[in-house]
Structure formats: structure tokens, C-alpha cells
Amino acid sequence: MTVSPARHHSPAEAGAGIVVSTESAGLGNRLKSWVSAMRLSPRALVVWPVTPNMPARFSDLFANDCEVDAVPEAASVYSSWRLAVLPEDETHLPPGFATAGAGAHPLIRAIGKAWWKLRGCPDDRYRYMLFPKTHSSRTTRADARHIDFEYGRIPQPIRDAYVPLFARIAVRPEIVARLDAWAADVGIDARTVGVQIRTWRDDSRRHAKYHRAAFGRLLRLMEREPEPTRFLAVADDDGVLKALVERFGAARVLTFPRRTPRAESWASPAGIAEDLTDMLLLARTRRMFVSYLSTFGEAAWWLGGANAEITVF
């Protein structure tokens, strides 16, 4: 029997059909970009640049075999932090769907939210929009057909498309083993409320605009919960978690016993791995209080199956 030699593919042919995620910002942004690449192609790859704010390598965090050093020739690139919206999604998303960082001018959306509130909040149109905010025109569609930060407003068919893709993310087993052990020890269950706090400690403008007012709203949300309720709290700063423990007690406020300071998590691979641990623990809760416009809490919601009840503060 004669065996034909294997056909050698040209570099262009080898890269055809591949979509490469190249997002270089924080952990939540990178996960959303990676999963978007998965949705766009069964041949999804990741370029994971190590930067001053992301010292962890892809292989420090994940076991998936999809990282490449550079974009292959003829491959497509997905470089956005936004979840990809495909043509088939548009039938479920009317123009102007997004509220959190949509395309309309903030003043127009502020008027829309005021009118919505005057009518008694008849629907969930502005449920997750605390402040009128736009994102860069480079990443924002004029028709505002985006699903980022829209949580329970996202139509079920789109959630059904993305949840299995987030489930493909294979976290390194030693990270999972450590969080499993701690979660079992403290007894995280369906009654535990997840609390995710983005203080924006690295951005003084956002810290003043978003966190200072938001922290008061968070305290009021927590105070409304009955006494047995426990909170799994994660944050980008240890000080804010200490304040919660002092106010509500260590028996009610659960925090993962990290080995790295939260405010300096960006400075070491171990810190980023513990950020991922916090995200995965948050994903196990069925109710979450999450910071406005933070992809950390958003990614946790997706990783948990996109069905937890969300309150944005």
C-alpha cells in the first residue's frame, strides 16, 4: 500500500479561519475577549501579553492549549473588551438596547432614565445604569446593540450561546483545588450573597466619581439583608473589606485568605492568580452586589452560568 505524503499547508492556509484574542487590559476584559474569539471561530487562539499590570502568563492561570506568541498569518484578530455581538444576535437586540455605556450622548440617556423613573420604572430598561456613561466610539456601535454589563436584560438565546464558552475556560487545577477547599470549609451556599467592590484605586477620577457614592449604596443594600445572610466579599483593596468586616462582623463577611495584598495584585503572577480565585468564588454565589462598569463582577456572573440575581451599586 502506498501512503501519500501529508499535504503541507501554506502559512496563509494554516491561519485561515482562526480568530485570535489580543486584548491586553485586565483579567475580566481578557476573558471576555477570549470567549468572544471562541464564539467567532472554533479555532480560537489567545495572545496574552505580559504587561506591568498583568504580570501573570496565560499558563500561570489556565490549562487550555490555545496560547500563541503572535497572530498567525491570515488569522483574524479580536482585540475588544466587549463581548462580540453576531448578526444572529441582532434579532434579539433592538436598536438602542444597551444602557451601560451605550452610544447615545450621556445627556440624552440621562433624560431617558429620568423619564423612566417618573413613569415608575415600568420595565428594566435602566436597571443597571447608575450614571449616564459612554465608552470610546472605537468600541461602541452607533445602534447600541451591546450586551456588556446588561446582566439579566440579556436575551436568553445570547446567554445560552455564551455560557458554554465560558465553561470551556480551564483554570489550573492547583488554583481550583485551593478555592474548593476554602469554599467547602466556610460553607458557601445559595444563601451567600456575593459582593464585588471595584474601588478604582488606580484611577483617582473614577474613584471619586464611582466608588465614593457607590460604597454608601452598598452598605444600605447589605443592611437590608436579614441577620443570617452572609456575604462573600471580594475587592481590589484590603481596606474596604476590613471596613465591611468591622461593620457587619467576621462571621457574616467572608473573604478569601489571600497571600498577596489586594491593592498590589497587579504586581505579581501570584496576585493575579488570587484575583482569579476571587472571581471564581464570586461566580459560585446566586445573588451578587457588583460595582458599576466593572468587568470583574461581570466575568464572574458569566462564569457562574449567567443566572445569578444581580444588583449594581
Residues 149 and 20 in one domain: no
**Judgement on whether residues 116 and 138 belong to the same structural domain of the protein:** yes
Judge whether residue 103 has pLDDT over 70.
yes
- Asked if residue 128 belongs to a domain, the reply is yes
54 and 96 fall within a common domain:
no
Angle at which helices 27-40 and 269-282 cross, to 10°: 70
Last residue of a domain, one of 78, 103, 125: 78
112: in domain: yes
Q: Are residues 191 and 272 in the same domain?
A: yes
pLDDT band at 138 (very low <50, low <70, confident <90, very high): confident
> Does residue 7 form part of some domain?
no
- Output the domain CATH number for residue 277: 3.40.50.11350
Mean pLDDT for the chain overall = 92
Q: Could you tell me if residue 37 is inside a domain?
A: yes
Number of domains in the chain: 3
Do 109 and 42 share a structural domain?
no
Lowest mean pLDDT among 99-108, 169-178, 269-278, 287-296: 99-108
Is 2 among the domain residues? no
Domain's final residue, options 136, 170, 204: 170
Kindly report which listed range (22-36, 92-106, 233-247) carries the lowest average pLDDT score.
92-106
54 in any annotated domain: yes
Asked which of 78, 97, 126 is the last residue of a domain, the reply is 78
Q: In terms of residue numbers, what domain contains 125?
A: 85-170
Q: Are residues 238 and 299 in the same domain?
A: yes
User: For 297-306, what is the mean pLDDT?
Assistant: 98
Q: Does residue 137 register a pLDDT over 90?
A: no
pLDDT band at 131 (very low <50, low <70, confident <90, very high): confident
Note the pLDDT tens digit of each residue in 198-241: 998 888 888 888 888 899 999 999 999 999 999 999 999 999 99
Asked whether the predicted pLDDT for residue 3 surpasses 70, the reply is no
Domain identity same for 166 and 177:
no
180 plus 231 within the same structural domain: yes
Percent of the chain with pLDDT over 90: 82
Q: Is residue 4 part of a domain?
A: no
For residues 158 and 177, state if they share a domain: no
The answer to the question of residue 23 being in a domain is yes
Mark whether 182 and 306 lie in a shared domain.
yes
For residues 219 and 257, state if they share a domain: yes
